[in-house]
Structure 1
Amino acid sequence: MQPSLTDRFGRRISYLRLSVTDRCDLRCSYCMPKGFSGFEEPENWLRFDEITRVVAAFARMGVGRVRLTGGEPLLRRHLPQLVSQLAVLPGVRDISLSTNATQLHKHAQALYAAGVRRINVSLDSLDKACMEKITGRDSFSSIMAGLQAGKQAGFSPVKLNMVVMRGVNDHEIMRMAQFCFDEGFILRLIEAMPMGDTGRNSQYMDIGPIRDELVKAFQLTPAAEELGGGPARYWSTADRKGTIGFISPISQHFCATCNRVRMSVDGTLYMCLGQEEKFELRPLLRAGVSDAELESAIRNAIELKPERHEFNSQRHKIIRFMSQTGG
């Protein structure tokens, strides 16, 4: 094991979010614009062997958590094969998946068998018409089927990500919380981020007052246990059977404890969602760099990681869409 991966601000990097495709079968209003066609060409996607080399290099430097994202990762063919390759890498101790769940009923069992143990599912509403408005597709029934397939496969925990949007779905938060409590899911409420025109037009809401309402309504107290390696701050019911996480990148940023980087489907490392610093690994991989050279390149990339985002002061800075970065 090499020395741990630490940025110039003393933050240890322990989490890699790995996009396996920039395609998606939905068009969520805050993520990808309708009619968008600027997808990466398949010949520029990292192959499974290239992805495995990158993850192995990160793992040798102490990065033990890997999350597969997109786009919609389940649109990448043979994804369980990639999972099985990553699961046996020394140092990789946690493989999770972010999905919209429309395809999950087809793949849940195979993904679990390959080594995925935790999933996050995007679900912004329990109203069929509202979901169709947000996602641009008739997606609700397939997502519900995917959630049940996930439970049956054994994923634990199953977290539901709800991007809170004023005048769109904010009236459903109490209902969504009760649904998650009843089903054994963990709800996570997320502030919309101003990435691209889609993100900036997403009716941002400060979730601080929402948290206060939920704490009072369900007698929530701060959760003591860690529930993944991410930025959510969790609160639980007295019996610990109900948990809600709050992700507040705008109203209460968590940059000082940021522990992650993202890699897009073409092998570009992004150091921060709210900054432009990036480092391209694909040219190095296809030029035949050694493992030592690859690790050195990753360390150089981490040196580019900024201290914090500037979503509050420069809302128009990031023109790329969330789907292009990796969720």
Structure 2
Amino acid sequence: MVDANHSCAALKDQFGRTANYLRLSVTDRCDLRCTYCMTENMTFLPRKDVLSLEELYRLSTVFINHGVRKIRLTGGEPLVRKNVMSLFENLSRHMVSGELDELTLTTNGSLLSRYAGGLADCGVERVNVSLDTLDAERYRTITRWGKIDRVFAGLDAAQDAGLKVKLNAVAQKGQFERELDDLIRFAHGRNMDLTLIEEMPLGGSASCRSASFLSLGELRQRLEAQWTLEPLSETTGGPAKYVRLQETGGKIGFITPMSCDFCSDCNRIRLSCTGQLYTCMGQEGGLSLKDALRQSDGNETVAQLIRNKVFEKPRGHEFHIGEHDVNGITRAMSTLGG
């Protein structure tokens, strides 16, 4: 049990890892229905079950007081949350004070053209934009109804506002492999990094992942046959391992939860829009902070719950994708934003 008297001590788990990176989901809703993220006919949470933006901010301050230095807003799609900019504005004060090193978000880019300027005003310096293809028809198929021109407009607006953009792409067997070189040239031609992410067995379609799963270890070997990859030691605080392509000067990141364990130095914790605290994306069990938050004027009860939960963080996730078997979890990707 963690000592309750150390209310502002760093959040450490039983294996000595420090949690200083909070991924804060502000909504489970999204304006797209990406096939690897959610089902077409999603049942979203009743609005009464979702924490208010004020409650999410209050919880964020508890994490900040315990040494969290980076907060990434996720969803669903964070920019569909009504008045979400007020949360960015409140959190930005902790950037000004020096309590936070970084405030950022992951977005599908469809609404980025509307919010890019405001995000920059709040101290956001970079954004991750999910984009798996440059082909409008394939984009519509992957997202079920998305319009890629809105994403391109969002990329333009973000860069015009001075935001650094990193593209995220989920690697899958098939057409993605044939398009990857074009995606690399597009990203690096616009001074954007590209991170490739292995597909994870999350949600109702997890059992189908063995057919589409593409190991990034194998994919990297193919890239090495065509490009000159220079390993880099730098990090952005997440699990990606980066290389620089000598031919383009741009960077590619590899996030490999399936083929290469990165749990030993995990610094991340996740909070859902309902106040569920997850210390591992690859585990089912979360801890609700909602009742403690709403039943107390102070934060010490919530803080103690957080400290205890983080201390009990498991050594690693239990994902597995084999040729004939898959071990995943039922929670949809959109619940925590990946």
TM class, shorter-length: over 0.9
Report deviation, 1:219: 1.2
Aligned: 1:177 with 2:190: no
- Aligned Cα RMSD in Å? 1.7
Q: Distance in 2 between matches of 1:200 and 1:163?
A: 17
Q: Distance in 1 between matches of 2:242 and 2:20?
A: 20
Q: Counterpart of 1:18 in structure 2: which amino acid?
A: L
Q: Distance in 1 between matches of 2:123 and 2:51?
A: 21
Instruction: Please give the TM-score of this superposition, normalised by the length of structure 2.
Output: 0.91
Partner of 2:17: 11
Q: Distance in 1 between matches of 2:196 and 2:46?
A: 33
Q: How does 1:275-294 map to 2 (within 5 A)?
A: 275-294=283-302
Report deviation, 1:216: 4.0
Encode CA deviations 1:38-93: one digit per residue, 9 max, x unaligned: x1111222112211111111111111100000000000112221111011135222
Q: Distance in 2 between matches of 1:166 and 1:20?
A: 31
Aligned: 1:62 with 2:73: no
Q: Counterpart of 2:92 in structure 1: which amino acid?
A: A
Aligned: 1:220 with 2:229: yes
Aligned: 1:194 with 2:201: yes
Partner of 2:171: 164
Encode CA deviations 1:198-238: one digit per residue, 9 max, x unaligned: 34434111011211232342312112322x11000000134
Native 8 Å contact 2:22 2:270 kept in 1: yes
**Which of the residues 1, 23, 26 maps onto 1:20?**
26
Native 8 Å contact 1:30 1:201 kept in 2: no
Encode CA deviations 1:85-116: one digit per residue, 9 max, x unaligned: 01113522200110000011111111111222
- Kindly tell me: are residues 192 and 55 of structure 1, through their superposed partners in 2, closer, same or farther at Cα, counting changes over 3 Å? same
How many residues were matched structurally? 324
Native 8 Å contact 2:275 2:289 kept in 1: yes
Encode CA deviations 1:106-137: one digit per residue, 9 max, x unaligned: 11111111222210000001111111111001
State which drifts further: 317-326 or 21-30.
317-326
Q: Counterpart of 2:53 in structure 1: which amino acid?
A: F
Report deviation, 1:316: 4.0
Partner of 1:74: 79
Encode CA deviations 1:253-280: one digit per residue, 9 max, x unaligned: 2011111111111110112111112111
Partner of 2:215: 206
Q: Distance in 2 between matches of 1:200 and 1:193?
A: 10
Partner of 1:324: 335
Native 8 Å contact 1:199 1:321 kept in 2: no
Aligned: 1:248 with 2:253: no
Structure 1 residues without counterparts, runs of 5 or longer:
none
Report deviation, 1:239: 8.1
Native 8 Å contact 1:29 1:135 kept in 2: yes
Q: Distance in 1 between matches of 2:248 and 2:228?
A: 11
- Kindly tell me: are residues 138 and 52 of structure 1, through their superposed partners in 2, closer, same or farther at Cα, counting changes over 3 Å? closer
Q: Distance in 1 between matches of 2:207 and 2:190?
A: 32
Partner of 1:105: 113
Q: Distance in 2 between matches of 1:224 and 1:252?
A: 17
State which drifts further: 49-58 or 235-244.
235-244
Report deviation, 1:317: 4.2
Secondary structure of the equivalent of 2:28?
A: coil
Native 8 Å contact 2:228 2:247 kept in 1: no
Structure 2 residues without counterparts, runs of 5 or longer:
1-6
**Which of the residues 97, 102, 106 maps onto 1:94?**
102
Q: Distance in 1 between matches of 2:230 and 2:139?
A: 30
Q: Counterpart of 2:306 in structure 1: which amino acid?
A: I
Q: Distance in 2 between matches of 1:42 and 1:301?
A: 26
Q: Distance in 2 between matches of 1:200 and 1:124?
A: 21
Identity across matched positions, percent: 40
Instruction: Please give the TM-score of this superposition, normalised by the length of structure 1.
Output: 0.94
Partner of 2:3: none
Native 8 Å contact 1:98 1:119 kept in 2: yes
